[in-house]
Structure 1
Amino acid sequence: MFEASEWKSFLSTALSIILILVLAVIVRALAHRLIRAFREAVQRRADDPGRAQRIETLGRTFRYIVTVVIAIVAGSLILGVLGISVAPILAAAGVAGIAVGFAAQSLIKDYFNGFFLLLEDQIRQGEVVQIAGIGGLVEAMTLRYVRLRDFDGHVHFVPNGEITAVTNRTRDFAQAVIRVGIAYREDVEEALEVMREVGRELRADPTFGPNLADDLEIIGVDEWGDSSVNLVCRLKIVPPLQQWTMRREYLKRLKKAYDARGIEIPFPHLTVYAGELKDGSAPPFRVSGLLPSQ
């Protein structure tokens, strides 16, 4: 039979453990409620679904971290109440943690990178990005990976640990850069004026005009190509996902306008030079098989 002192010690230990568990549950519930309230307040001010999704993912991450920390603290306190030294357990856990860390370092790297990608708002769901040499529309983003769908419809799962640089093609606005070549004999000023006219026509269009944030910007002559003078302009597009549609529509209209004005869009030309003799005369350049036989 237990003596009175032993019963008293047992009840004291049991009550201490129960108190620790109750406090842990209360602290966890309060922390989760605060995180949820903060998340909902930020989501109400979010201006797009992608940002709301990012905030939801970060909220889940913080809730998980809080739960793990509270469980570790509560477990340590319970072991102390039971008279079990925590130091040897921590030492063994440290050795095991090092071994697990080496074995799962790529997985840990994925989670760390994913956390900072979300925290710094580098990628949002619904954006078009270039990561790890792969470009596409972001369909989903987790702490482990980013899921992309490319133009051909292929789905790519990119681990966050492999993302070292992010090229975001659809953040805030986009510039649709358009390069057009005209023949050397054409008047550059006339060709640029036609580009401006097409830009004004596109902006006045009720379907495409709302996607233009500003007038067409003429950059000018970009270079002298092998067979053309290359002109450059650009369109500021909002929303940025429409940049490819707007670029295709502008090029279609510009082709019609150049054809109507008789402005030549050249194709590559090849000039064959047979050389000349030392006395300045040119050797005969024989061509056979090109003319129909008489």
Structure 2
Amino acid sequence: MDGDFSDLMQWFHSLDTELLSSLGRVLAIALVTIALNTFIRRLITTTAERYKKHKNSLEKVKRVDTLARVCRSVFSILLWITAITIALASFGFTITPILTTAGVSGIAIGFATQSLIKDYFSGFIILLEGQIRLGDIVELGGVIGEVEEMTLRYVRLRNLAGDVIFVPNGNITNVTNKSLHFSYALIDIGVAYREDVDEVTDIILATARALQTAPETKHLILEDAELFGVDKWADSSIVVRMRIKVKAGEQWKIRRAYLRRLKYAFDSAGIEIPYPHLTVYAGQLKDGTAPPFYLHKQ
């Protein structure tokens, strides 16, 4: 036992004092970095929470949350890069050659990582302009979903089916934000050609007014319904278009509630909701008369 202890002590004495000192500095750098990183992240979170208390707009609150989330990530990355650089210097590595080599190789790497650079640059612009915020319902590249996470690299969406979609920021060319400031529930209503258009429009507006005063929906509707009138003549119906201005992101809920009420209103008034019609042509005999046409199997 004493021999093993002696061997251990000799091993410690054989270690280079400078190496032990460098390891101690690295440990100190790591501890300081962890503490500083925790402090900065908490400071950003606290500042964001204080800022949100003075904002009565949901849009501004969402933007603050998004900025705070990205700032925490960026500061953490920069802090650890700085810590690693200082740690390397404590072992005697000269930083200047490393930076020079990184600069030269960075040019070559840059050509190979153009898409990655484009992602980060596009993410910075999107974040700076406030085009997308956490919780928004957006359409990016033909994909619609709720924004669950935003980084400088990608946007994470979750669609109605629960699928998670990652959209690289560099692939985002057009942003359709369906929950910014306010929304419209745009509704096309088809009725049979035989119906009186004026009667139909009266029922449409009356149903909208009833929805506007209903306890479960009145707080979501911002203005009276806007009736555009007859929008087109379809194959089997006359299409009347209208819309309702609602709070941001509530257009789907209001649309479903309105169509439900309108169905009952049309049924009560005897308004026919059309369905596709099929005209069957049986042909013509040589004498100009129509041939017998059997609707059942003989």
Who is 2:296 aligned against? 291
8 Å contact 1:128–1:170 — kept in the other structure? yes
**2:151 aligns with one of 142, 154, 167:** 142
- TM-score, normalized by length of structure 1? 0.74
CA RMSD, 1 decimal = 3.4
Task: Single out whichever of 145-154 and 93-102 deviates more from structure 2.
Answer: 93-102
Letter in 1 for 2:64: A
Where structure 1 has 5 or more consecutive residues not aligned to the other structure, the ranges are 1-24, 79-83
Equivalent pairs counted in the alignment come to 254
Q: Aligned letter for 2:291?
A: F
Cα displacement string for residues 110-137 of structure 1 (whole angstroms, at most 9, x for unaligned residues): 1111111111101011111000221111
What's 1:270 paired with? 278
The match for 1:51 is 63
Choose from 243, 246, 249 the match for 2:254: 246
Check the 8 A contact 1:43/1:55 in 2, yes or no.
Answer: no
Map of 1:258 onto structure 2: 266
Three-state SS of the structure 1 residue aligned to 2:252 is helix
C-alpha displacement of 1:202: 0.6
Pick the aligned partner of 2:236 from 208, 217, 227. 227
Shift of 1:235: 0.7
Contact kept? 2:285, 2:291, Cα under 8 Å: no
The amino acid that maps onto 2:296 is L
TM-score of the two chains, using structure 2 as the length reference: 0.73
CA–CA separation in structure 1 for the residues paired with 2:174 and 2:113: 23
Which stretch of the first structure deviates more once superposed, 251-260 or 269-278?
269-278
Q: Which runs of 5+ in 2 are unaligned?
A: 1-32
Alignment match, 1:14: none
List aligned pairs for 1:129-278, cutoff 5 A.
129-238=138-247, 240-274=248-282
1:58–1:115 contact (8 Å) kept in structure 2: no
Whether the 8 Å contact between 1:125 and 1:141 is mirrored in structure 2 is yes
- Cα 1:96–1:39, aligned 2, differ >3 Å: closer, same or farther? farther
Partner residue, 2:136: 127
**Which whole-Å CA distance do the structure 2 matches of 1:38 and 1:164 have between them?**
32
